[in-house]
Chain A
């Protein structure tokens, strides 16, 4: 199967998933006590009964629920997620403004987690049973047990408050005029702590996964052959062991995108990072269900797209996968 036809297949397969996710999310939000009209009435303070019902009518909330669902499909088909009740702008606009910084944070975290996790896992596997392995195993198990928001707060206490090396939060200096390399450096200073906090849990997962997967590969015949051929330790480790051991790791990384996006909600709140996570927090506090529904759907779309990309990447990295199917 060529990459293009695989892409077509995956996109087609995603259609029913998207449809069901949309429908489920719609009904989840319907569970809410009271509706948007009630909320607007309550926040404006002096709303009359007639005013509220007029509002309900203008928002289409008085219609039967199936009709509302069909109407919702209709708006989605036009790539609209509706109007945010709190901010009174289209939800797509709000999300579009926040999505890039979340993707930046999530992307950096995954990269960090993979790099540090695989490195730690490789060191552990190559020294299996020795003190280096034991120490790193203990460290990863601790990292695996710390809530990401708390590790974020600890990083703030140490690196921002005590040492004063890095900023406590935000995404860039307000009114900064830095450009070029110094701009990147400045963004990096803001990005480092939140992405580390978000990555910590996954560093531990990838380290443990790489370790066990490498220990499995080490026993295989092709590794013995490579050693017998007289390749040096580094060549064997990197080209014959690590490379093969990474296949399960990359599969898992694809599955973790949903989890990391969820973790971003909390970490962004800790670091006042202006992304979707903070938007979620704002939407919760405002009881803006239209916005929440939009965020839920967008995150699900991001996960679907990311999984398709991981699937295609897999085929490029490991030609056996396409051949087998």
Chain B
């Protein structure tokens, strides 16, 4: 998309009094934008942590092959003592380091798939509702309201337990409780942009509705959606860990939440089977939130907070 293809007359008018809000979505953002972004220390740190996390999720299982759920040593070896088990073992003698590596895979897979599905569905529904208005908008708004009335996590628990826990049902359930926030946001943004001059200009030049919506408006609200995506990944990882903590995760895969769930039984005498996987969740989610904040500052410089 080249946002600069706007009639220069219109672009000039935005400075005039009463011109309303007009953002010439500009070319000042050059191809070095990504590098400029990484120069912010917090953004760089968050990106590094996440890149490391993704790398771990990919190569981790190669580093420590074999099922992380099999018993490999004595039970409850302390961390940093035995180099065969750098992070120790749990009550059944399962290696915590392998568990954590495989857990990264589960968390990131769930987080990214949920963000992808709920963004596609939410943006599509919200954008159409916001652009079309009328009864379509009314129906969608009511639908979103209903999803906001049902406590998401309770619905998730009911759905996953009804459909039998597996990676697929967890992802579907999480997407089902996440799309409404995306749809609401997209709808509000589209309505906000609908009456802006660049949209009016496109309408007058006879551009078709779908092309205006997907070719003009969506690229302009993309920054907000990108920030939302990082928040969804973070909250999906948190919700997945809570589900598997309750024993509603995929029973055949080690995940951070299920490791905490089994470590919890020995919490009075052994802290590490509970603390270690939890620390990985916190670091990952923290990095995602820092990244979201940094992206927000970078992409929406006018917003504050």
Q: Does the CB pair A21–B242 fall under 8 Å?
A: no
Indicate if the CB atoms of B162 and A145 lie closer than 8 Å. no
B86: min CB distance to chain A, Å: 21
Bound complex: CA of A289 vs CA of B161, how far in Å?
A: 9
B-binding segment of A107-115, A183-191, A229-237, A259-267 = A259-267
Mark out the residues of chain A between 157 and 215 whose CB falls within 8 Å of any chain B CB in the assembled complex. 157, 161, 168, 208-209, 211-213, 215
Interfacial chain B residues near A150, Cβ < 8 Å: 241, 260, 274, 278, 281-282
What are the residues of chain A within 8 A of B271 when measuring CB–CB?
A: 157
Contact of B148 with A255 in the complex, beta carbons under 8 Å: yes
Among all A-B residue pairs, the 6 with the closest Cβ atoms: A212-B305, A262-B153, A145-B286, A150-B278, A145-B285, A262-B151
**With the chains together, A183 CA to B162 CA distance in Å?**
41
Tell me the complex Cα distance, A127–B156, Å: 40
Chain A to chain B contacts (Cβ below 8 Å), 23 pairs: A16-B142, A20-B146, A28-B155, A29-B158, A31-B163, A33-B164, A142-B282, A142-B286, A147-B282, A147-B285, A149-B245, A150-B274, A150-B282, A156-B267, A209-B305, A216-B304, A258-B150, A258-B151, A284-B161, A284-B248, A287-B161, A292-B162, A303-B150
Q: How far is the CA of A36 from the CA of B158 in the complex (A)?
A: 15
Instruction: Report the Cα distance A208→B274, complex, angstroms.
Output: 29
Number of interface residues of B (CB under 8 A): 45
Asked whether any CB of chain B lies closer than 8 Å to the CB of A153, the reply is yes
- Given A24-B146, A33-B164, A145-B286, check contact A259 B152 (CB 8 Å): yes
Contact status A153-B278, CB under 8 Å: yes
Interface assignment of B246: CB less than 8 Å from any CB of chain A: yes
In the bound complex, what is the Cα–Cα distance between A273 and B305 (angstroms)?
36
The answer to whether the Cβ of A154 comes within 8 Å of any Cβ in the partner chain is yes
A293 to B155 Cα, complex, angstroms = 9
Specify which chain A residues have a CB less than 8 angstroms from the CB of B151 in the assembled complex.
258-259, 261-262, 296, 299-300, 303
A258 CB contacts on chain B under 8 angstroms:
148-152
Instruction: Report chain B residues within 8 Å CB of A255.
Output: 148
B interface SS class: helix
CA distance in complex: A105, B161 (Å): 25
Chain B nearest CB, measured from A253 CB (Å): 14
Q: Is the CB of B246 within 8 A of A153?
A: no
Q: Please report the C-alpha to C-alpha distance between residue A25 and residue B245 in the assembled complex, in whole angstroms.
A: 24
- CB–CB B289/A144 < 8 A: yes
Chain A residues with CB under 8 Å of B264's CB are 153, 270
Q: Assuming A31-B163, A258-B150, A299-B154, is B290 touching A149 (CB within 8 A)?
A: no
Q: Does A72 contact B (CB under 8 A)?
A: no
> B226 at the A/B interface (Cβ < 8 Å)?
no
Which residue in A161, A212, A289 is a CB contact (below 8 Å) of B162?
Answer: A289
A interface, size bucket: 35 or more
List residues of chain A with CB within 8 A of the CB of B268. 161, 168
| Docked CA distance A143–B146 (Å) | 29
User: Is A303 a contact of B149 with CB atoms below 8 Å?
Assistant: yes
Q: Which residues of A are interface residues toward B (Cβ below 8 A)?
A: 16-17, 20-21, 24-25, 28-29, 31-33, 141-142, 144-150, 153-154, 156-157, 161, 168, 208-209, 211-213, 215-216, 255, 258-259, 261-263, 265-266, 269-270, 280-281, 284, 287, 289, 292-293, 295-296, 299-300, 303-304, 307
The interface centre, meaning the residue of B146, B260, B275 with most chain A CB atoms within 10 A of its CB, is B146
CB nearest neighbor in B for A262: B153
Q: Please, which residues of chain B bring their CB within 8 A of the CB of A287?
A: 161
Q: Is the CB of B154 within 8 A of A145?
A: no
Taking a contact as CB atoms under 8 Å apart, the answer to whether B162 and A266 are in contact is: no
A280 to B157, CA, bound (A): 8
Q: Which residues does chain A contribute within 8 Å of B153, judged by CB atoms? A: 259, 261-263, 265-266
Q: Which of B246-271 contact A (CB under 8 A)?
A: 246, 248, 257, 260, 264, 267-268, 271
Q: What residues on B are CB-neighbors of A144 within 8 Å? A: 289
